[in-house]
Structure 1
Amino acid sequence: MSITAGSYTLGPESGRLLVHTTRTGLGAKAGHDLTIEVTRWRGDAMVDTVNAANSSVSVEIDAESFEVREGTGGVKPLTDSDREEIGKTLRTKILHTDRYSTITFRSTRVDGTAESFHAEGDLTIVGVTRPVTVQGVLTDGRVQGSAVIVQSRWGIRPYSAFFGALKVSDEVELRFDLGLAPRQ
């Protein structure tokens, strides 16, 4: 199935944005690999099927809207209390949402085809803007893809506990799975 040229509105009603973390360190067995969903976000995509360079995408994320959905691995299962504590730590110690309420991505270059593309752009997290590349494909009428984000490039110190024996890996992966709804 191919995509048609035009403007599209993006948001939670069209699909999901998920952040995946992994753990490292001597105490990694005690922690969990996390799947965190962004629940409040919006974006716009302009798709030119003839010349990908004329395509663009922008996304704005509410930094308060990260919710822990799943934790795999670990010595014991992730509890609701653990999810709440992780969410609080993410907001207060990692993303500093009291000062930086939004995370934004704005494409600067799009290459490829609708079926297989990459978008380079500027990602702003905690007030720091750095380039990032998003890879994507069109599969069964849905746009799916990912980007790897190295937290330290944005000045974010990855979470650690137990005097550094348990750490979240510096690299986290953002994945998306979206249906494109034409802008009304």
Structure 2
Amino acid sequence: MALTDGTYRLGPSTARLLIKTGRAGLGRRAGHDLTIEAIRWSGDAVLVVGDPDRSSVSVTVETGSLEVREGTGGLKALTDADRAQIKRTLEDKALLHAAEHPTITFRSTRVTGTPQSFEITGDLAIKGRTRPVTVHGKRNGDGLLRGWAIVTQSTWGIKPYTAFLGALRLADEVRMEFEVARLEPADGPR
């Protein structure tokens, strides 16, 4: 994928957004490390290769579009019923308040580095709270743009999920990842 100056449209047809969770507590062996994917989202990237400070990224994710893709570890395999229950829990008032806060947004405030290794600093808004986040990215030899950021749930008022009277809980820190397979010009066909 050639990286040239321009404005590009982002979304599920060209990229993936993932959230990866971990486990904590005495009962952590019973639970699963989850990979959750946002399936309805959109964004724009303005790319100025020679002057990254003029580049920008904005992304909007539908809160209710988070789907469990994988669950590893645990004492038993993750079932479809487990996936459905996790989705209900994610959307519940205790976690993301999907009904009251239907979107999660990220707006860059600064881009630094090169297309091969870059950082995007910006404002992440979850549940009506906006906090700064730094996304670390790189372009691999295969041409894909990949990156990640660590998000501490409690910073946004999210109480990490617990079970078994708190013996099993999700770690407060989750890893958000992206992978861009191709860039689609914003003025191209929709």
Do the two structures share a fold, i.e. TM-score over 0.5?
Answer: yes
In structure 1, what is the Cα distance between the partners aligned to 2:65 and 2:153? 18
Instruction: Provide, for residues 101-124 of structure 1, a one-character-per-residue CA deviation record: whole Å limited to 9, x for no partner.
Output: 000000000000111100000000
What letter matches 2:99 in structure 1? D
In structure 2, what is the Cα distance between the partners aligned to 1:180 and 1:160? 39
In structure 2, what is the Cα distance between the partners aligned to 1:39 and 1:168? 22
In structure 2, what is the Cα distance between the partners aligned to 1:117 and 1:182? 21
Report the secondary structure of 2:64's partner residue. Answer: coil
Instruction: Provide, for residues 44-74 of structure 1, a one-character-per-residue CA deviation record: whole Å limited to 9, x for no partner.
Output: 0000011100000000000000000100000
In structure 1, what is the Cα distance between the partners aligned to 2:81 and 2:9? 35
TM-score by length of 2: 0.95
Percent sequence identity over aligned pairs: 54
1:121-140 superposed matches below 5 A: 121-139=122-140, 140=142
Segments of 4+ moved more than 6 angstroms: none
- Whether the 8 Å contact between 1:109 and 1:119 is mirrored in structure 2 is yes
In structure 2, what is the Cα distance between the partners aligned to 1:87 and 1:156? 15
Unaligned residue ranges in structure 1 (runs of 5+): none
TM-score by length of 1: 0.98
Counterpart of 1:182 in structure 2 is 185
Counterpart of 2:158 in structure 1 is 156
Unaligned residue ranges in structure 2 (runs of 5+): none
Report the secondary structure of 2:97's partner residue. Answer: coil
Residue 141 of structure 1 and its aligned partner are, at CA, apart by 2.2
- Whether the 8 Å contact between 1:21 and 1:173 is mirrored in structure 2 is yes
